Amino acid sequence: MGRWWPWRRTRTACLSLGSNVGDRLATLRVALDDLDRHDDVDVETVSAVYETDPITPQGAEHQPHYLNLVAVVTTTLGPRDLLDLAHRVEAAHGRDRGREERWGPRSLDIDLLLYDHEVIDDPGVTVPHPRLTERAFVLVPLAEVLPAGATLPDGATVASHLARLAPITGVELYVRLTEGPGTTDEPLNRRPPGPPGGPPRLSERHGGPGMPRHRDPGAP
């Protein structure tokens, strides 16, 4: 949870979070809490969670589907420090960027998509994310959290980039997260639910009234 320092400017950034290893939904929920607990970061808005096809090069081994979301944060961190924080959160969830395979499974993947309306091309930090406009699994949740008609730094809207990628495939609405105990969510899941599970930091409901809470198939 962020603190207000009058001499530090607050900026708005968009982060994408994804996981396709273990209990994917629990990982995303806890990662959001990890980010929000930092003194210089507030998680303001979170998109629905989408189940998406992995990016798998031809001939590569099959891997599980991802869960993806986009979060809007306000922060007094600069873009490099915010990205460093994201990488520390990844590491806390078991990711080792130095030893992983390109396009391989990810316990947690956090990308910095946007930082205010800035364009940054520095070693180790590129904003907007260089593949932002090529990925429907990022653009679909991003469209939820940006104001209607908002433009990206290239001057185009998210909707226009999505139209260019149409038809959109491999991006399925999974669940909407709601903060706080005792809250309910819209029954958005299109897949059969499983038995209960996952830490109760954010709540979720799947499949309509009377359906049991979901346990990610990857959970132990």
Q: How much is the pTM? A: 0.76
Q: Is 109 a catalytic residue?
A: yes
Helix (H) or strand (E) holding 123: none
The confidence score (pLDDT) of residue 123 equals 86
Helix spans in 38-151 (H): 79-92, 136-145
Q: What is the pLDDT of residue 98?
A: 65
Q: Which of the following is catalytic: 106, 135, 176, 205?
A: 106
Q: Is 3 a catalytic residue?
A: no
Residue 135 falls in the annotated catalytic set: no
Among the listed residues 111, 176, 205, 216, the single catalytic one is 111
Active site residue 95: yes
Residues in the chain: 220
Contact criterion met (CB below 8 Å) for 66 and 52: yes
pLDDT truncated to tens, each residue of the chain (220 aa)?
545 444 568 999 999 999 998 899 999 999 999 999 999 999 999 999 999 998 765 655 678 899 999 999 999 999 999 999 999 999 998 877 766 666 667 789 999 999 999 999 888 899 999 889 889 999 999 999 998 888 999 999 999 999 999 999 999 999 998 753 333 344 333 333 322 333 222 223 222 222 222 345 455 4
CA dist list (Å): 178 to 47, 78, 138, 147, 152: 10, 28, 20, 19, 27
Are 195 and 68 a contacting pair, CB within 8 Å?
no
Distance, CA of 68 to CA of 16 (rounded, Å): 7
Catalytic residue among 109, 176, 205, 216: 109
Of 43, 46, 47, 45, nearest to 2 (Cα)?
Answer: 43
Q: Are 33 and 104 in contact (CB under 8 A)?
A: no
Q: Identify residue 144 by its one-letter amino acid code.
A: E
Residue 103 pLDDT: 62
* Residue 66 CA: distances (Å) to CA of 116, 162, 164: 27, 19, 23
Are the CB atoms for 3 and 39 separated by under 8 Å? yes
Q: Residue 56 corresponds to which amino acid?
A: T
